[in-house]
Structure 1
Amino acid sequence: MNSYKRPWYKLKRTWIILFLLTFIGLFVSTLPPELSRNITYLTKAYSEPEICEGALAIAKTDTTVLKLLGNLEPLGSLDMLNGSVGYSQNGDSVGITINVRGDKEINNIRSKMDVLAEKINNKWEYISINIRIKKPEALKQTIPILKK
């Protein structure tokens, strides 16, 4: 007499697969349609780090930034994920917002750098660079670094 019983997951394998496929389909359908575009922009911005690094180098020389934030720290690898990136359709101009930090000890300071740049003759030229201090309220302001 054969008393072998198949495990429950083998008996319900078809239903489990159907449930998982339905769940994945529902999850994908709730994602925003511009997600793939945003991922493409982030990837492109990561492949062109000179945009942010050049803007940061210019911002490091501003006396107001040095007074309020201190020396700006180098950008981390995940800083761009916390910001936003937008390219023009041709890919010849970009707008980037990225978190920046200074070495001054100020509690809960939050600041962002906004960069607008345009590619001219295969070189990025900056249209504007601003640093926005969002918190604390006493320091809240926008510091124009470069404006063309």
Structure 2
Amino acid sequence: MGTQNRLWYQKKRTWFLLFFVICTGLFISTLPKELPRNVAYLAKAYSEPEIAEGALAIAKRNPKIIALLGELEPMHTFDMVEGSVGYSKTGDSVAITIGVRGDKKIKNIRSKMDVLAEKVNGKWEYVNIKVRIKKPDELKQTIPILVK
């Protein structure tokens, strides 16, 4: 009488657990090998927000950016997650790509800011800052903000 009264999911519990373990293993095996490094870079970039914020402040003063996008909005929490971050092996240079938005309400405008900075005497100095307008196609261009 013991096995007759058990519910169907109690009878199949071992198979469900095995299926779950196999699916989890397959999912983990498909993750990119660089994922831990990328997460570490992202965490480091969040701990040094002055890099991206300083570049944004420089870009805000560019007249061409103001004409196309309007006044640039401050960075949002997930802007770096949507972009990319890469540090050199020694950690003394960084390349960051983040989305930027202006207060002009242009439909479907997509733009990114690329920042390359190096740490000199404990302070970040910008090597290159540019804004890429990706969409709409009629506005598509790259605007150099700072080139050294």
Using the size of structure 2 for normalisation, the TM-score is: 0.93
Residues 1-148 of structure 1 aligned to structure 2 (within 5 Å): 5-148=5-148
* Distance across 2 between alignment mates of 1:66 and 1:23: 50
* Distance across 2 between alignment mates of 1:17 and 1:3: 19
- Structure 2, unpaired ranges of 5+: none
Deviations 1:16-43 (A, max 9, x none): 2221111111110111111111111111
Secondary structure of 1:116's aligned partner: strand
- Structure 1, unpaired ranges of 5+: none
Secondary structure of 1:85's aligned partner: strand
Q: After the TM superposition, which parts of structure 1 deviate over 3 Å for at least 4 consecutive aligned residues? A: 1-4
Secondary structure of 1:105's aligned partner: coil
Identity, % of aligned positions: 66
Secondary structure of 2:80's aligned partner: helix
Letter in 1 for 2:142: T
Secondary structure of 1:118's aligned partner: strand
Letter in 1 for 2:114: D
* Distance across 1 between alignment mates of 2:24 and 2:2: 39
Q: Which moved more, 1:41-50 or 1:13-22?
A: 13-22
Using the size of structure 1 for normalisation, the TM-score is: 0.93
- Give the number of equivalent residue pairs: 148
